Amino acid sequence: MSDFRSHIAVIDYGMGNLHSVAKALEHVCPGAKVSITADPAVVEDADRVVFPGVGAIRDCMGEIRRLNVGDVVSQAMKTKPVLAICVGMQALMEHSEENGGVDCLGLLPGRVKFFGNQHVDAAGAKLKVPHMGWNNVHQTIDHPLWQGIDQDSRFYFVHSYFVAPSEPQHIAGRCDYGVNFAAALSYNNLFAVQFHPEKSADAGLQLLRNFCHWMG
Residues involved in catalysis: 86, 196, 198
Compute the distance between CA of residue 56 and CA of residue 108 in angstroms, rounded to an integer. 19
Q: Which of 72, 53, 95, 50 is nearest to 190 (CA)?
A: 50
Dihedral sign of CA atoms 142, 145, 148, 152 in order: negative
Compute the distance between CA of residue 33 and CA of residue 215 in angstroms, rounded to an integer. 16
